[in-house]
Amino acid sequence: MKKEIKKLVVAGIMVLFTTIAFSAIKNINLVKNGDFINWSSYKITNMEITPKLPAGKIPTGWMVDQSAYEQAKTPHFKIEGLIAPDTEITHNSKISLKIENGLKTDITESVQYINNIKPYTSYKISCWIKGKNIQLNLNDGAGAIVWFNWGPGKNFWSHQHYTARVPKKFKGSFRWNKFSFIVDTGANAGAATIALQLRRAKGTVWYDDVKVVPIGKIVPVKSF
């Protein structure tokens, strides 16, 4: 009798949580140019707010962006962000992504759109990060941050589910660190973005070996 009760309790606990089947999906990296080997020429227009691009290029398959919280109040707020390839400071590849901020109020990022995200699926997001003299703003949400936002394939920007993660070592100076986390998608998943940021912090951060890998289907539980 006790054994039967124990089995029922264990079964009840298990159905309260999401279950993952790990054998259904191949481990393929969905990020293109995650090693930042390829860079494309980029022409800045007067309509864009773009970080400095000393090489005149951005990583192929990625977008770049620069913003600051004070910008809305002060239209002529000086922006001091920078994005560039770095061939001297790298992890495994020959080139890394270098992001630099000259002001603690800046947000400088590189973003990639991924259009083949599946519903009810677990994804492992991983990369290598290195930092130098990262000084945080006084407010929260500052430092080296990795965002993964998923949503429907259509009207993606209006129905995103945001997940932001901060490495344990995200300020000051630190060596290359492996950083990873897992995100579970829901019923309306169809696309995603991954953003590599230096957010509201002065200093330099390097990213390399960026991956988004499906690791298994999720079995949603609707009832006890």
Across the strands, what pairs with 189? none
Range of the domain at 195: 2-219
- The answer to the question of residue 224 being in a domain is no
Q: How many CB atoms lie within 10 A of CB 224?
A: 7
Q: What is the mean pLDDT of residues 128-152?
A: 90
pLDDT at 144 over 70: yes
- The answer to the question of residue 191 being in a domain is yes
Query: Tens digits of per-residue pLDDT, 12-51?
Result: 434 333 444 444 455 799 999 999 999 999 987 665 678 9
- The answer to the question of residue 193 being in a domain is yes
What percentage of the chain reaches a pLDDT higher than 70?
79
- The answer to the question of residue 175 being in a domain is yes
Task: Write phi, then psi, for 3 (nearest 5 degrees).
Answer: -65, -40
Query: Tell me, what's the pLDDT at 205?
Result: 97
Quickly list DSSP for 101-139: ESSTTEEEEEEEEE--PPSSEEEEEEEEEEEEEEEE-SS
In the structure encoding, which two tokens stand for residue 192, read together? 């995603």
Q: How many residues are recorded in the chain?
A: 224
Query: Tens digits of per-residue pLDDT, 110-120?
Result: 999 999 999 99
Q: What span, in angstroms and rounded, lies between the C-alpha atoms of 80 and 209?
A: 26
- The answer to the question of residue 190 being in a domain is yes
How many folded domains does the chain comprise? 1
Q: Which amino acid is at 116?
A: N
pLDDT at 100 over 60: yes
Nearest to 123 by CA among 48, 194, 62: 194
Query: Tens digits of per-residue pLDDT, 190-214?
Result: 999 999 999 989 999 999 999 999 9
Query: Tens digits of per-residue pLDDT, 42-73?
Result: 987 665 678 999 999 999 999 999 887 655 45
Alpha helices in the chain (DSSP H): 2-15
What percentage of the chain reaches a pLDDT higher than 90?
59
Quickly list DSSP for 71-111: GTT-TT----EEEEEESSS-SSSS-EEEEEESSTTEEEEEE
- The answer to the question of residue 39 being in a domain is yes
- The answer to the question of residue 189 being in a domain is yes
Query: Tell me, what's the pLDDT at 21?
Result: 43
Here the CATH number for the domain that contains residue 187 is 2.60.120.260
Confidence of residue 223 (pLDDT cuts 50, 70, 90): low
